[in-house]
């Protein structure tokens, strides 16, 4: 008999599907046990047995999931080692909890401590994004059966800040001081950044083979896509004449520290966090102020969407000109 009453008054659903498959479960009423039996038999008829073959509790630790994610997906991403290092550091501070039991309140306490230590909100938002992306990948690939536990945690709202850029006089001063520093790599890297809008590392990692026909092709970019930017014949000649000082066939030696030293000697001061990146902002800002269009700038900068590039749109000469042209033409009479 599939449903029978027990001595304690409860009802047992004892369902044998075949020689190898059997389910037993206790209920308080006969109706519940009967419904359970019907449901199990219907599921088996449909070929769906997952609900009635529960897997063992997932006791894997957060560190286990990080390594699983890294080997299956993270290793193929740009700067994969850095992201793995960040995730493992978070894991250590959180005391490597059972991954399934990571609770939003525990993470929020961690984030608050980091915020009080002076960590930038953007960095904290990146950390949250890395954790959610890891859980999401494992969930989508059915390597965990639960959704990301921090999916409902909102990133910190960041006030949009004005992007700083250098005036032409400041550009000339910076290049002059770079020359005076004695670092040939520094001067060339700064000049390439100012004349192409590339990222600092993209310029530092250049090889001679990337400069052809007055064009630089940037590879191993942040977006993972190569892009080509025209340069003047003058700059091309200077790069081709440059005697390499870098390693692994790279043209330039690392010059990041030299840049910080030079910036301290300049008459202008940059906002915190906008040292080398101000060169990229400077190119984009002058491009728009000189009448360039936003879609061309997007391709030059290598932005995956035009949304990021739109930060520079207000610098275009015609920006919001319609605010004047189409305003209500009111006049107060005497």
Q: Domains of the chain: which residue ranges?
A: 3-52, 62-140, 168-315
226 compared with 23, residue with greater pLDDT: 226
Question: What pLDDT, in 10s, does the model give residues 85-139?
Answer: 999 999 999 999 999 999 999 999 999 999 999 998 999 999 999 999 999 999 9
pTM value? 0.67
Q: Give the pLDDT band of residue 274 (cuts 50, 70, 90).
A: confident
- Of the candidates 195, 170, 177, 191, the residue with the CA atom closest to the CA atom of residue 252: 191
* CB count in 10 Å sphere of residue 48: 10
pLDDT at 42 over 90: no
Question: What pLDDT, in 10s, does the model give residues 166-204?
Answer: 999 999 999 999 999 989 899 999 999 999 999 999 999
Q: Which residues are catalytic?
A: 199, 222, 277, 280, 303, 312
* CB count in 10 Å sphere of residue 12: 15
Q: Rounded to the nearest 5°, which phi and psi values hold at 233?
A: -60, -35
CA–CA dist 192, 242 (Å, integer): 13
Query: What would the mean pLDDT of 49-77 be, rounded to a whole number?
Result: 84
- Residue 90, pLDDT score: 96
Q: Give the pLDDT band of residue 320 (cuts 50, 70, 90).
A: low
Q: Give the pLDDT band of residue 46 (cuts 50, 70, 90).
A: confident
**CATH code linked to domain 168-315:** 1.10.443.10
Q: Give the pLDDT band of residue 304 (cuts 50, 70, 90).
A: confident
- Residue 329, pLDDT score: 67
Give the β-pairing of 22-27 and 11-16: antiparallel
SS3 at position 238: helix
């Amino acid at each position: 008999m599939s449903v029978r009453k027990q001595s304690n008054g409860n009802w047992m659903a004892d369902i044998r599907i075949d020689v190898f498959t059997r389910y037993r479960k206790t209920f308080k009423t006969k109706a519940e046990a009967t419904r359970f039996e019907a449901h199990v038999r219907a599921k088996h008829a449909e070929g769906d047995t997952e609900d009635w073959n529960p897997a063992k509790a997932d006791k894997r630790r957060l560190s286990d999931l990080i390594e699983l994610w890294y080997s299956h997906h993270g290793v193929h991403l740009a700067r994969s080692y850095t992201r793995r290092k960040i995730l493992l550091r978070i894991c250590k501070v959180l005391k490597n909890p059972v991954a399934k039991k990571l609770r939003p309140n525990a993470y929020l306490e961690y984030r608050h401590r980091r915020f009080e230590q002076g960590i930038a909100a953007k960095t904290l938002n990146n950390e949250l994004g890395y954790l959610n992306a890891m859980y999401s990948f494992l969930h989508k690939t059915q390597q965990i059966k639960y959704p990301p536990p921090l999916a409902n945690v909102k990133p910190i709202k960041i006030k949009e800040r004005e992007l700083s850029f250098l005036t032409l006089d400041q550009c000339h001063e910076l290049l002059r001081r770079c020359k005076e520093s004695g670092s040939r790599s520094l001067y060339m890297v700064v000049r390439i950044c100012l004349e192409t809008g590339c990222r600092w590392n993209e310029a530092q990692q250049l090889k001679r083979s990337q400069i052809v026909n007055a064009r630089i092709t940037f590879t191993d970019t942040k977006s993972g896509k190569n892009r080509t930017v025209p340069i003047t014949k003058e700059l091309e000649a200077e790069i081709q004449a440059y005697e390499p000082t870098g390693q692994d066939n790279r043209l330039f030696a690392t010059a990041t520290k030299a840049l910080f030293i030079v910036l301290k000697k300049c008459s202008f001061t940059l906002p915190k966090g906008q040292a080398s990146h101000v060169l990229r902002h400077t190119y984009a800002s002058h491009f728009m102020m000189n009448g360039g269009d936003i879609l061309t700038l997007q391709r030059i900068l290598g932005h995956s969407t035009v949304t990021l590039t739109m930060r520079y749109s207000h610098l275009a000469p015609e920006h919001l000109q319609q605010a004047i042209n189409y305003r209500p033409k009111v006049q107060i009479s005497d």
